[in-house]
Structure 1
Amino acid sequence: MTANPEWLVLCVWRALLGEIYPSIRGVAISLSEKNILVIRYYMDREPIEFDSGSMEVVATNISAQIGLDKISRIELECEYAFDPISELDPLDGFVYCRREYDM
C-alpha cells in the first residue's frame, strides 16, 4: 500500500461533496503507476443503479479538476460490505469512512 498524493486526496474530497449519502460506509482510492485511479464505494446494501450514477458524477468532477495529464483512466467499483471497516481493503487509503457504532 502506498500513500495517495495529497493533491489527489483533496481533489477526491471536493468531488465527493454532495455525493455522500447514508448507504455509503466508506470510499477507498488507489492510483497506479500507470495513472489509473480506482474508486471503490463500500455500501451497507447491494449496489443499485443510483450508486453507479453517483460514482459517475464523482468521476466527472475529478476529471474536470485534474485532466488526463495526471489520471489516464478512472475505474469505479461498488461493493456491498458487511464486515467492519477495519477489515475492508482500503486500497491505498480511505478518503471517507462513515462513523459506525457497535451498540
Structure 2
Amino acid sequence: MGMPNREDQVKALANETRIEVLRLLDDPATHFSKQESADPVEIGVCVQLLAEHFGVSQPTMSRHIELLKRAGFIVAKRQQKWTYCSRDDAALADYTRWLISSLNIKTF
C-alpha cells in the first residue's frame, strides 16, 4: 500500500458516527459479543450489526464503512453474504503521528 490519502483520512474522521465506529471496533468482544455469525475479534464486526447499533439503514452504514476503508482505518472482509470490519490500529497511529508532526504539536 502506498502513502495514505490524508484528505480521505481527514474526511473519514469529520463525522461523529465514524469516530464512534472506530471506538466500538477497538473492543469488539465487549460491544458485539452476541454476534453469532463469526468471532467479532477474529473476523470483525458485521456491518449489519453496526447499522443496528446506530439505528441507521445498512446502506447508510455501508457508506460510513466505505469512507473509513478508503482512509485505511478499517479492514473489511467479505464472508458469504456478510461484510465484517476490524480496525487498523497501525493506520490510525500513522495518521496521529502525521497530524502531530504536520501541526507541530508539542507532546508532553
TM-score (norm 2): 0.32
Structure showing greater relative contact order (alpha-carbon pairs closer than 8 Å, 6 or more residues apart): 1
Q: Give the structure with the larger helix fraction.
A: 2
- TM-score under structure 1 length normalisation: 0.33
Which structure features the higher share of strand residues?
A: 1
| Structure having the higher Rg | 2
